[in-house]
Amino acid sequence: MDIFEQLLEAKRKHLAVSLCMVIATNGSTPRHAGSKMLVYEDGHIAGTVGGGEVENRVIQEGLAAIKDGKTRRLSYSMTDPARGDVGVCGGQVEVYVEPVLPQPLLLVIGGGHVGKALAHLGHWLGFRVAVSDDRVELCTPEENPDADEFYPVDMAELPKHLKSDARTYVVLTTRGMVVDVPGLPALLDMPAAYIGVIGSRRRWTMTRKSLLEAGIPAEKLERVVAPIGLELHAETPEEIAVSIMAEIMMLRNGGTGQRMKV
């Protein structure tokens, strides 16, 4: 399997990788321009850009690119290791590193009216959408045609079925404390960029109190965003979905939520 086939396979499996390519060489170097390597999030590689210290440094830059999502253009001299060069071949090499990241995952827990609107909007915005609900009839392609994955299980069981990461956004559009209190603790150890709970301030105050009484550490509960969304005076499920996704996009893109008009 060549590098591009492996890149497509990574995309199909929703894996984050960095594509590293030698773009220029001068003098004696271990690999020619066009040589490629994939760096996976767990540190393993496919292909090579030359081995040795140059490859080790490129791997580290590839891992960093996966974390920050930024491209890199790297230049290395291969003359004098005593001064920090990567080798003694005598040449110079340039490597371009591009992170290839999977779609962010929007995990909607609760397949009712707001959950369905949220799945629709998340799909339209380019998220991979997973819907979960312990009510099996609400967790189907017929009920949520814009979702990509379905998990008809109790919330507490979700970490056993779904892999999350720093590009995962979890939104609880559940039917109340009866679901949140027993289910939420299992989510607090999941890697995620965002864990939000729908409802009023009073609902979250009561939920938080019950979780603290159940022994959940307060610092874990600090991860939770509640109430969720930007203040739009939203009322309909569709308006509420816009409010929630606006907050997620603001956090994901480093926005402020302020009006653009001065």
Q: What is the pLDDT of residues 183-209, one digit of tens each?
A: 999 999 999 999 999 999 999 999 999
Nearest alpha-carbon partner for 242 in 105, 145, 118: 118
Q: What is the pLDDT of residues 108-131, one digit of tens each?
A: 999 999 999 999 999 999 999 999
What pLDDT was estimated at residue 200?
92
Per-residue pLDDT at 254 exceeds 50 = yes
SS3 for 109-122 is ECCCHHHHHHHHHH
Fold of 105-253: Rossmann fold (3.40.50)
Per-residue pLDDT at 211 exceeds 60 = yes
Q: What is the pLDDT of residues 79-111, one digit of tens each?
A: 655 554 455 566 788 999 999 999 999 999 999
CA 47 – CA 208 distance, rounded (Å): 49
CA 41 – CA 62 distance, rounded (Å): 9
| Dihedral of the alpha carbons of 119, 255, 230, 244, in degrees to the nearest 10 | 10
What pLDDT was estimated at residue 88?
55
89: Cα separation from own chain's centroid: 40
Residue 224 vs residue 27, higher pLDDT? 224
Q: What is the pLDDT of residues 21-76, one digit of tens each?
A: 999 988 777 778 999 999 999 999 999 988 788 888 999 999 999 999 999 999 88
Q: What are phi and psi of 69, to 5 degrees?
A: 70, 15
Residues in the chain: 262
Domain ranges of the chain: 3-100, 105-253
CA 66 – CA 61 distance, rounded (Å): 9
What's at 188, amino acid-wise?
L
What pLDDT was estimated at residue 39?
97
| Mean per-residue pLDDT, 138-144 | 94
Cis peptide before 237 (omega within 30 of 0): no
CA 91 – CA 205 distance, rounded (Å): 64
Q: What is the pLDDT of residues 6-25, one digit of tens each?
A: 999 999 999 999 999 999 98
Mean pLDDT of the chain: 92
pTM greater than the 0.75 cutoff = yes
